Amino acid sequence: MILRNINNRFEFGEDAFERIEDDAPVPATGAVLVSAARWLGEHDILAKRKEPVGVWIEGDGDLEGLGEKCAQLELIVLRFPVFKDGRAYSQARLLRERYGFKGELRATGNILRDQLAFMERCGFNAFELDERIGLSQFNEALAEISVYYQPTGDGRMPVYQLRTTQASPGQARAAA
Amino acid sequence: MYRYDEFDHKIVTERVEQFRGQVARRLSGELSEDEFKPLRLMNGLYLQLHAYMLRVAVPYGTLSSRQLRQLAHIAREYDKGYAHFTTRQNVQYNWPRLADVPDILKDLADVEMHALQTSGNCIRNITTDPYAGVSADELEDPRPWAEILRQWSSLHPEFSFLPRKFKIAINGAKEDRAAILFHDIGIGMARGGNGEIGFRVYVGGGQGRTPMVAECIREFLPKTDLLAYMEAILRVYNRFGRRDNLYKSRIKILVHQIGAEAMAKQVEDEFAAIQKQGDTLNVPPSEVDRILAYFAPKNYESLGDFAPETEEARLADENFARWLDVNTAAHKIPGYRIANISTKPVGGIPGDMSADDMDAVADLADKFSFSELRVTHKQNLTFADVRGKDLHALWKALDERGLASANISLITDQIACPGLDYCNLANTRSIPIAQEISKRFEDAELQRRIGRLHINISGCINACGHHHVGHIGILGVDKKGVEYYQVGLGGSSDNNGSIGKIVGPAFARDEIVDAIGTIVDTYLKQRVNGEEFLDTYRRIGLQPFKETLYDTTQH
């Protein structure tokens, strides 16, 4: 099950994408998830596909070549191989803020409850979580900090902007 | 100094509650120690040899007397009645109980303090010149920018899981008193071509196993671009810094591997791309002004430079005269001096202070220095704004409490890491060596004759005692379970930053203090025209020291 942001509320839903390993053929129909290397390598064929294509990037992979083409994708999965490997936070922000990716940006791998809020601020809107994190824990984790010192692509105002607009701390989230 | 507004209060309060929840989940067993570890580290909580250690952030080393009293209260209430000032201008408690930590954090939040990001692979406390805002050789006060950086780096969603810890220092004076060449990012205030003041940016300095002097990647950065440029550096590092080997993960290794020029290019490209995305990282001028106002010059009196009462006392009391000479420094305003309080009495533990002494110092700050003080990276305390005519009264009060050691920058003003007495990484003890050296050179006149000489001691290769940049650096090494001490000479963390060179084979525990004695004797014999140790060393090199050391100790 995937936890997704749907109209600013998170809900669990099915994963419609079938993961296709690099050595398996890509089926003609159905939404598929392929590796970034394969998508770039077989781009001419895969780009013509009528049904959705998603791409996964391994923790030690980078966005090389992918950024400019990301608008063609419905889903990008970034993997945290271990929780302390934070590369995907930068990748997520680049996809959202530099390359304008609008589709589902999904976090997978070793994800701890206490990293969810950071991930969400970096642009992730979908999470593949282990069974210990339910919807209530997830929402709780996201609500723990409500004011931010930095701007990200999520549109929430950092406090240095809120201060100049004479807002109150309660309005940080509302500004999103 | 900076004061929290409702936004800062809210963030810190929410963070304390968040950590309270994390501790509760650990205590209930919901979280294993492995899972709890990254969470406690983000809050400055280490598991040491005997107990937890809590490191509290003192942003750029600035404390109010009220905050110092609260730190004393915490030492008394939750620890063993003392605290430890660190080389990163922070405060450590060595004996807190896990269950008490949320309450300690709450007490800290009450006085606008926290332990955020004092450990973990994130951006650590921003450090600066302890004389910031008051020294005569300053281009501009760096503290407002340190505060802007503090806020920007706190709970940064992208940069909280970097390859390794990340340290930023900023200095605004001609003399580098913040060791900016030995930080992941070093920032020096600089003047641009049109006279405008901005920043010069260095990256890739550091100590540890692979000491390196930082390289300049930007000669001049306009102030408005500071945060965007920081994000550019951090993003390049977060994406491309090594993660496969703990000891090769600092940004200095990346800079070394690709070269400073390539690093500069990557950062500039990223910076240009960030700039193209928009200007949300430009702190609005009104916000810069708001923060600047907190660091406005104090309400100084018009005083003459000459204070007859101080001069009279100086002539009458040689101990006061020595303290005045050694522990005080020039202030930019006539009639004021900067006064330093040494935490390093003979035989003491460098950086340690009792709760009672902390309270006493807080009272003195109220009386003599606008209720503020700074923690220095040499682990001492600074009163930045003392009227010249009050110096004798201040000294007397300090002396009564044994806090008037006149040794700032002298041989007994040593930096020592906690070593094997506390730390589970250490190979050897550091504190007893520092204590013995300070006893050896106890004589105040001898110390003054030796002059400026920094001895830095680390109990292991991680270099928390900054041995690489000690004029004399001592590194504890373990040889088959026996403590040995390797000696380096000629390190320095000032404007001409240099890394010390190893003088020869390591010394046994019972030889090391004599070896330091031999080094000092050799210097005193070789010095000309009142040179400082570092000048003599740079003139004559290692050889004369090798000869005397290894003749006398029969290696």
Q: Which of B3, B18, B20, B161 to mutate to test the interface with A (most CBs of A within 10 A)?
A: B161
Confidence band, pLDDT 50/70/90 cuts, at residue A176: very low
pLDDT the model gives residue A174: 53
pLDDT tens digits for B42-62?
Answer: 888 988 877 889 999 999 999
User: Does the predicted model carry a pTM greater than 0.90?
Assistant: yes
Fold of A2-145: TIM Barrel (3.20.20)
pLDDT at B478 over 50: yes
* CATH class name, domain B415-552: alpha beta
Instruction: Report the C-alpha gap between B518 and B550 in whole angstroms.
Output: 10
Mean pLDDT of the B374-390 span: 97
**Inter-residue contact B324 to B307 (CB < 8 Å):** no
B158/A152 touch (CB, cutoff 8 Å), yes or no:
yes
pLDDT tens digits for A52-72?
Answer: 999 999 867 778 889 999 999
**CB nearest to A147's CB, from B10, B156, B158:** B10
Query: Helix (H, G, I), strand (E, B), or coil: what is residue B452?
Result: coil
**Tokens matching residue B390:** 């009050």
pLDDT the model gives residue B42: 84
A62 interfaces chain B, CB cutoff of 8 Å: yes
Tell how far CA A35 is from the center of its chain: 16
Instruction: Report the C-alpha gap between B523 and B377 in whole angstroms.
Output: 26
The ipTM is 0.95
Chain A residues with CB inside 8 Å of B8's CB?
159
pLDDT tens digits for B13-39?
Answer: 999 899 989 989 999 998 888 888 888
A86/B159 touch (CB, cutoff 8 Å), yes or no:
yes
pLDDT tens digits for B83-108?
Answer: 999 998 999 999 999 999 999 999 99
Fold of B308-400: Sulfite Reductase Hemoprotein; domain 2 (3.90.480)
Chain B residues with CB inside 8 Å of A145's CB?
11, 14-15, 18, 155
pLDDT tens digits for A93-130?
Answer: 999 999 999 999 999 999 998 899 999 999 999 999 98
Tell me the three-class secondary structure of B38-70, residue by residue: HHHHCCCEEECCCCEEEEEECHHHEEEHHHHHH
Mean pLDDT of chain B: 95
B158/A114 touch (CB, cutoff 8 Å), yes or no:
no
A146/B15 touch (CB, cutoff 8 Å), yes or no:
no
**CB nearest to B235's CB, from A90, A149, A164:** A90
Fold of B134-291: Sulfite Reductase Hemoprotein; domain 1 (3.30.413)
Confidence band, pLDDT 50/70/90 cuts, at residue B390: very high
B152/A122 touch (CB, cutoff 8 Å), yes or no:
no
Q: Backbone phi, then psi, for B329, in 5-degree steps?
A: -135, 165
A107 interfaces chain B, CB cutoff of 8 Å: no
Confidence band, pLDDT 50/70/90 cuts, at residue A34: very high
Residues 6+ apart with CB under 8 A from B473: B455, B456, B457, B458, B466, B467, B487, B488, B489, B491, B500
Q: Where is average pLDDT lowest: B112-116, B224-228, B322-326?
A: B112-116
A119/B10 touch (CB, cutoff 8 Å), yes or no:
no
Q: Hey, what long-range contacts does B359-367 have (CB within 8 A, 24 or more apart)?
A: B359/B68, B359/B69, B359/B72, B360/B397, B360/B401, B360/B403, B361/B68, B361/B403, B362/B65, B362/B66, B362/B68, B362/B69, B362/B72, B363/B65, B364/B394, B364/B397, B364/B398, B365/B64, B365/B65, B365/B68, B366/B65, B367/B394
**CB nearest to A118's CB, from B5, B17, B160:** B160
Same topology, domains B6-110 and B308-400? Answer is yes
Chain A residues with CB inside 8 Å of B15's CB?
145
Mean pLDDT of the B346-350 span: 91
Mean pLDDT of the B526-555 span: 89
pLDDT tens digits for A143-152?
Answer: 999 999 999 9
CATH value of B6-110 in 3.40.50.720, 1.10.1060.10, 3.90.480.20, 3.40.50.150 = 3.90.480.20
Instruction: Report the C-alpha gap between B91 and B115 in whole angstroms.
Output: 9
The residues spanned by each domain of chain A are 2-145, 146-176
Chain A residues with CB inside 8 Å of B5's CB?
163
Nearest CA in chain B to A120: B157
Q: Where is average pLDDT lowest: A89-98, B182-191, B240-249, B359-368?
A: B240-249
Residues 6+ apart with CB under 8 A from B251: B164, B166, B184, B185, B203, B204, B206, B233, B237, B241
**CB nearest to B239's CB, from A87, A112, A163:** A87
Instruction: Report the C-alpha gap between B73 and A35 in whole angstroms.
Output: 57
The residues spanned by each domain of chain B are 6-110, 134-291, 308-400, 415-552
Separation in Å, CA of A32 to nearest CA in chain B:
27
Confidence band, pLDDT 50/70/90 cuts, at residue A170: low
Helix axis angle for B285-294 and B143-153, nearest 10°, is 120
pLDDT the model gives residue A62: 79
A150/B273 touch (CB, cutoff 8 Å), yes or no:
no
Instruction: Report the C-alpha gap between B249 and B90 in whole angstroms.
Output: 24
